Amino acid sequence: MNKLLAHRATKPLLFVLALLPFASLLYGAVADTLGANPAEALMRGSGDWVLRFLCLTLVVTPLRQWTGWSALARLRRMLGLFAFFYAVLHFLCYAWLDMGFDLAAIVQDIPKRPFVLVGSLALLAMTPLAATSFNRAIKAIGAARWQLLHRLVYAIVLLGLLHFFWMRSAKNNFGEVAVYAAIVAVLLGWRLWRRLRGRRPGKPAAGLTG
């Protein structure tokens, strides 16, 4: 499996697979197959994929350690960038389909609606992570600072989950929220357990991102 994951074709394949949801949404919009409310379908679909890619990004480290597939680490950056890509797409759908690209209306709307506010905060927090997701940035700011900055992903996924919860609360539909909450709880709980286990006398605590 490590040889397969390390193959030079793996990243291009992942890139294509990660674009399939976007292609599906785009085709649905052009072909008018998104149902009675295409705007809601586009916003919901793009938002769902933000959470999915955030969870996939967070699952890389525990899966790598449990299976020994060390080559998985080379795919984590791309998964994180696609989470940002779908977050930008999600915000653009809101700005265009819900607000008509009216900047003044958007600025006024964000603080008024809690779920829009936390979603916007999550996107804002993702921006420096995406902007520093290349080797030169790591060298420029230093590995320790880079790792500390990228721990923002934990706050981001919690903000994304809260955003999703508030969106579903309007329709009293919490089934999917519970699934994502369980996945996030396991992924963050594992990191917390690993950090606490690493706290021994004379030994620094293991980093959450490890």
| Residue 207 covered by a domain | no
State the residue range of the domain holding 34: 2-197
Predicted pLDDT at 186: 97
Q: Given a cut of 80, is residue 209 above it in pLDDT? A: no
Which pairs from 94-103 meet CB under 8 Å and 24+ separation? 94/43, 94/119, 97/39, 97/42, 97/43, 98/39, 98/43
Q: What is the pLDDT of residues 84-128, one digit of tens each?
A: 999 999 999 999 999 999 999 999 999 999 999 999 999 999 999
| Residue 123 covered by a domain | yes
| Residue 16 covered by a domain | yes
Q: Burial, 117: exposed, middle or buried (Cβ in 10 Å; 0-12, 13-18, 19+)?
A: middle
Q: Given a cut of 60, is residue 139 above it in pLDDT? A: yes
Query: Could you tell me which residues come within 8 angstroms of residue 209 by beta carbon, excluding any fewer than 6 positions away?
Result: 61, 147, 150, 151, 191
Among 197, 200, 153, 182, smallest CA distance to 65 is for 197
| Residue 78 covered by a domain | yes
| Residue 112 covered by a domain | yes
Which one-letter DSSP state was computed for residue 200?
Answer: B
Q: Given a cut of 90, is residue 182 above it in pLDDT? A: yes
Predicted pLDDT at 204: 37
| Residue 55 covered by a domain | yes
What CA–CA distance (Å, rounded) separates 17 from 7? 16
Q: What is the pLDDT of residues 12-23, one digit of tens each?
A: 999 999 999 999
| Residue 205 covered by a domain | no
* Mean pLDDT within 152-156: 96
More confident residue, 88 or 196: 88
Cβ pair 155, 125 in contact under 8 A:
yes
Can you say whether the dihedral through the CA atoms of 176, 182, 185, 186 is positive or negative? negative
Token pair of 55 as six digits = 């969870």
Predicted pLDDT at 199: 62
Cβ pair 185, 158 in contact under 8 A:
no
| Residue 209 covered by a domain | no
How many domains would you assign to the chain?
1
Q: Given a cut of 70, is residue 44 above it in pLDDT? A: yes
Predicted pLDDT at 190: 95
Its pTM stands at 0.91
